[in-house]
Structure 1
């Protein structure tokens, strides 16, 4: 059969196309991010992406991973929805062929990925969601790792802070009505028993509630002399507005969900009175790693003129360290195979990171790299999370 000129040219180009695509793919290693990139918590997802991007640029400038391959970040928006998070993770693994999936602010989304990651034998790296059950999930092998806070440890810290700093004897808790709230309810009960603290009560509120006066009134009538607050920005802001309407001014100690962005805009004037937990602050004297990260953030993102402009800093800090540890694990594994990377996380060399120096941060017994000794307490000054004196 005689070929037309176009057909003849196509027959010459087709083998070249098949040759070039794998070569291009072999020059990079993808890691994925499933996080809230829209909605009230969008700034949390953006802060995570920024921390990962700064780390990836640094890694690639030093030669990448696996002998010269470039790390590439692929993002997906989970819209704080577990079902969408599952679909996004599957797409990243099955279509984009990412080596590791990073997660965002929402515990319900992260909890929904436990079975997905186990099924697809791909490591998950949490850099914000603090639900205890994310890593303590009874899976063997366990593919869920984390560089972030853990609810059980934060719960004990919040109660102790309220007791020590505010002389609180009967704290009451306001917990978002989802798996994250459930995780903290159990953690607070356990911590209260250990600290010999009597809880005035534990109240739940829904993510779409615009008024929580009824729950707060029950706690007030039960003698609550402080509030332990657990919720992300939008819903936690409604609690603060309800307290303002009630003119109830007891101290509020919060988990870190409120640092996901816009709490200063949404919560009303009392937003600045809330004390909350973080794993890192860019304020004050920094280590050489801290100075380097701040300089790179300013260089890459023109809106960042100083540390005041680093929004949701905990996401950036956790993600930076987690990306560095993940690159070390990929190199240690010598492969993008998920099972090999999972095992490599247990054998990491010492790494001097942003938050701390990591020495064997992961083990089969604990897949959380941070401990309660790595937590600090902050409050809002403007929109910046500044350490409490």
Structure 2
């Protein structure tokens, strides 16, 4: 039996076991219960900060929505599961959120490997997925029609262009090296970075990969240095970026560095002064001038965490993206006049609102496969590590 047929059979069996009489077009919140939004994210492990940020942003949005009367006369609730960055756990959590909890939608987490694994079960079940962090291009641009994968976050195709533009700004030679993790996220970014450089009439002088938990990147670093690169684009998590920086230091090579937001968590703590000046793409910062909505969210974050200095808030993009995503979902439910998955999926294309991170007008465009992503690249933000804190590049000591 083909794998998709096996999965469909398993899902149907699970639906029957849960007492549902119909097939996979199961309306979320079918029973008389509080409608829920489920989240599968890493709340343990080295990327636990990401799941905690997503959870916080979603909870604050839900609290605000409920205080204003909820949606369709009902209050929302968040159902949180830990995937620890493991794709099989993300798949299991997706099924649990949809078939056991009967939630309206699945919020995605930090790891693109998990998001890619969720594409099949999301479409087999037919429940809307809303990514709020993982940026792999093909997780959302997956060729499905109808497509149930949406995202209020960055997209690697656009991030690659953003980072290539910045790399060429700071490069004196136009020679760019690329360091990327050997995962679905990193391998998926390689063609995006190559395409972005090709559009500028350039090509990589070095493309170096590595595995999670590799402790020494000296061979990769030396090859990139000897190729003449004076700027490096890094597509990794904080722990591996720390090893890259330490290997660069040992090799007496100090290129300019720009990175995707996998290095936005605790690189400053891990690498210390070596991280100073490392530029990182983000979608949001609490250190820029705040709108009224931003001030309100910041106050809520401070109340929940006890943090008084916005510089100490980890993963502001995860908080803000999930906050906006919940509001987009709430709008879609209101437009649909229903908690039914198919109706909500269709209504997402009709959502138009001023969000915290960006204006979503519209949030998504059914006619454009690229526009299953709500945050357009002109709203990306460049930040930089300085003395253990991630701050906006503009106005920083590195803003030259």
Q: Distance in 2 between matches of 1:256 and 1:104?
A: 13
Residues 303-314 of structure 1 correspond to what in structure 2 (within 5 A)? 304-314=307-317
Which residue number in structure 2 is paired with residue 373 of structure 1?
Answer: 378
Mapped partners of 2:52, 2:388: distance in 1: 16
| Matches for 1:137-286 after TM superposition, within 5 Å | 137-259=142-264, 261-286=265-290
Shift of 1:130: 0.7
Match of 2:6 in 1: none
103, 111, 115: which one aligns with 1:110: 115
Q: For residue 336 of structure 1, what is the aligned residue in structure 2?
A: 339
How far the C-alpha of 1:300 sits from its partner, in A, is: 2.4
Verify the 8 A CA contact 1:241 1:268 in the aligned structure 2.
no
Question: Cα distance 1:168–1:30, how it changes in 2: closer, same or farther (>3 A)?
Answer: farther
Residue 42 of structure 2: aligned partner: 36
1:284, distance to aligned residue in structure 2 (A): 2.9
After TM superposition, list the pairs within 5 Å mapping 1:61-72 onto structure 2: 61-67=67-73, 69-72=74-77
Structure 2 CA distance for aligned equivalents of residues 230 and 253 of structure 1 = 9
Please give the alpha-carbon distance, in whole angstroms, between the structure 1 residues aligned to 2:204 and 2:251.
21
Greater shift in the superposed pair: 103-112 or 326-335: 326-335
Native 8 Å contact 1:107 1:131 kept in 2: yes
1:32-78 deviation line (CA, Å, top 9, x unaligned): 111111111100111111111110100000001112x1111111111
1:183-215, Cα deviation, whole Å (9 max, x unpaired):
210101111110112311211110121111111
Deviations 1:161-189 (CA, angstroms, capped at 9, x unpaired) = 11113335110000000111112101011
8 A Cα contact 2:280 2:382, kept in partner: yes
Q: TM-score, normalised by structure 2?
A: 0.88
Contact 2:353 2:363 in 1 (8 A): no
Are 2:221 and 2:248, in contact at CA under 8 Å, matched by a contact in 1?
yes
Q: Which has the larger radius of gyration?
A: 1
Q: Distance in 2 between matches of 1:62 and 1:231?
A: 40
* Per-residue deviation, residues 235-270 of structure 1 (Å, max 9, x unmatched): 2222112112222111111001111x2222222421
Alignment partners' CA distance in 1, 2:150 and 2:94: 15
User: How far apart in 1 are the matches of 2:143 and 2:340?
Assistant: 22
Q: Secondary structure at the match of 1:386?
A: strand
Residue of structure 1 aligned with 2:297, choices 290, 293, 297 = 293
Deviation at 1:225? 1.2
Shift in Å at residue 156 of structure 1? 1.2
Q: Counterparts of 1:130 and 1:24 in 2: how far apart (Å)? A: 31
Contact 1:172–1:227 (Cα < 8 Å) also in 2 = yes
| Equivalent position to 1:51, from 42, 57, 66 | 57
> C-alpha root-mean-square deviation of aligned residues, in Å?
1.5
Q: Within 2, Cα distance between the matches of 1:130 and 1:326?
A: 19
Gaps of 5+ in 2: 1-28, 395-400
Change (3 A) 1:24 1:229: closer
**Post-superposition offset of 1:320:** 0.7
Deviation, structure 1 residue 27: 4.5
Task: Work out whether residues 204 and 215 of structure 1, in 8 Å CA contact, stay in contact via their aligned partners in 2.
Answer: yes
SS in 2 for 1:128: coil
Q: 2:272·2:387 contact (CA, 8 Å) conserved in 1?
A: no
Aligned in 2, Cα 1:165/1:220: closer, same or farther, shift over 3 Å?
Answer: closer
Give the Cα–Cα distance (whole angstroms) in 1 for the partners of residues 289 and 277 of structure 2.
25
Q: Which residue of 1 aligns with 2:360?
A: 358
